[in-house]
Amino acid sequence: MLLEVRDLHVEFRTRDGVAKAVNGVTYGVDEGETLAVLGESGSGKSVTAQAVMGILDTPPGRITGGEVMFQGRDLLKLKEEERRRIRGAEMAMIFQDALSALNPVITVGDQLAEMFTVHRGLSRKDARAKAVELMDRVRIPAARERVRQYPHQFSGGMRQRIMIAMAIALEPALIIADEPTTALDVTVQAQVMELLAELQREYRMGLILITHDLGVVADVADRIAVMYAGRIVESAPVHDIYKAPAHPYTRGLLDSIPRLDHKGRELYAIKGLPPNLTRIPPGCPFHPRCPLARDVCTTDDPPLYEVSGTRGSACHFWRECLDG
């Protein structure tokens, strides 16, 4: 396995108390595989990714347990200097907001070229040529001219392509894309997702795709891990999830995707809000919002039950959920 996160715990100190943002998350991704991590905001999906990348805000964020095994090493045991070397060269991240992730006063060409001068020791001229090559690769038209432009001179979709170019520049083994298309309109979203999937296949990278939108992952993901209140509540191959979810929360997410054949019908929304992470409800954390909840759900925290060899669900009544 390229990356294996094992029983990861992350806490944040807040004015309200300790927020348990990640509570025993275990997931993995292999080379050439795409894992989609899905959940509403506050589910812990981005915090887990930040812990993997080593860019968690510390303090107030604190990793209180677990392992992050990457190519056989536990990243949590490495010195910051070593982690910095791994970031960019061996694992890279694509953020939702390219405008704030890119430096506004440096041309995109120089930002791309810097990856090669700093990490690969290339001359300025060779690094600039590589920058143009990369911009071509992510299909930015007139790359030779546009390499001299600043981030604000590009559209949202083009800026996201530049972020992708920066992420793949050093051909890392793993890319984490955190809501990479959320800020874009639907047509551009599809183009950017397609490009990301194509590059991932070409370079055989592991890809972790973080999203709140189950609709965008159907064509690109191999597996899905659904997160709620800082834990994985369902983990399964993508086709199994679309065929029949084994957790009521996954079912709720699926039912909230707009569908053409449901035109005119009111769109389903999961009732209520995700829990305050300083006061996670006892028992199953989803019980205040769950249409299948029974008494046992308010007291007994469900483990991740084995549904099949490749599938798990943290619901006492996963069989009922599977049956629809």
Q: Shortest approach of ligand SF4 to residue 26 CB, angstroms?
A: 19
Q: Shortest approach of ligand SF4 to residue 172 CB, angstroms?
A: 36
Q: Which is nearer to ligand SF4, 118 or 296 (CB)?
A: 296
State which H helix or E strand residue 45 sits in.
Answer: helix 45-53
Q: Shortest approach of ligand SF4 to residue 202 CB, angstroms?
A: 39
Strands, sheet with 73-74, edge to edge from the N-terminal-most edge strand: 17-29, 3-14, 61-70, 73-74
How far apart CA 277 and CA 20 sit, in angstroms, is 5
Residue 141: count of CB within 10 angstroms of its CB: 9
Q: Shortest approach of ligand SF4 to residue 12 CB, angstroms?
A: 24
In the region spanning residues 272 to 291, those forming contacts with ligand SF4, defined by CB under 6 A, are 284, 286-287, 290
Q: Which is nearer to ligand SF4, 108 or 290 (CB)?
A: 290
The residues pairing with 37 across neighbouring beta strands, listed in sequence order, are 210, 225
Q: Residue 240 carries which side chain, given as an amino acid letter?
A: D
Which DSSP symbol is given to 215? G
Q: Is the peptide bond before 281 cis (omega within 30 degrees of 0)?
A: no
Pick from 52, 91, 315, 322 the residue near ligand SF4 by CB under 6 A.
Answer: 315
Q: Which is nearer to ligand SF4, 139 or 294 (CB)?
A: 294
Which DSSP symbol is given to 157? H
Assess 292 for contact with ligand SF4 (CB under 6 A).
Answer: yes
- Start-to-end CA span in the chain (Å): 33
Assess 131 for contact with ligand SF4 (CB under 6 A).
Answer: no
Q: Shortest approach of ligand SF4 to residue 324 CB, angstroms?
A: 14
State which H helix or E strand residue 305 sits in.
Answer: strand 305-308
User: What is the four-CA torsion angle of 202, 174, 44, 5, rounded to 10 degrees?
Assistant: 130
Q: Shortest approach of ligand SF4 to residue 298 CB, angstroms?
A: 8
Relative to beta strand 61-70, strand 3-14 is: antiparallel
Contact assessment for residue 130 and residue 123, using Cβ atoms and an 8 Å cutoff = no
Pick from 178, 220, 316, 322 the residue near ligand SF4 by CB under 6 A.
Answer: 316
Assess 297 for contact with ligand SF4 (CB under 6 A).
Answer: yes
Pick from 8, 94, 293, 322 the residue near ligand SF4 by CB under 6 A.
Answer: 293
Contact assessment for residue 212 and residue 179, using Cβ atoms and an 8 Å cutoff = yes
Q: Shortest approach of ligand SF4 to residue 307 CB, angstroms?
A: 13
In the region spanning residues 232 to 261, those forming contacts with ligand SF4, defined by CB under 6 A, are 247-248
Angle between the N-to-C axes of helices 108-120 and 124-137, in degrees from 0 to 180, rounded to the nearest 10: 120
Residue span binding ligand SF4 (CB under 6 A) among the ranges 107-115, 120-128, 144-152, 309-317: 309-317
Pick from 302, 307, 311, 312 the residue near ligand SF4 by CB under 6 A.
Answer: 302
Q: Which is nearer to ligand SF4, 28 or 252 (CB)?
A: 252
Binding site for ligand SF4 (CB under 6 A): 247-248, 284, 286-287, 290, 292-293, 297, 302, 315-317
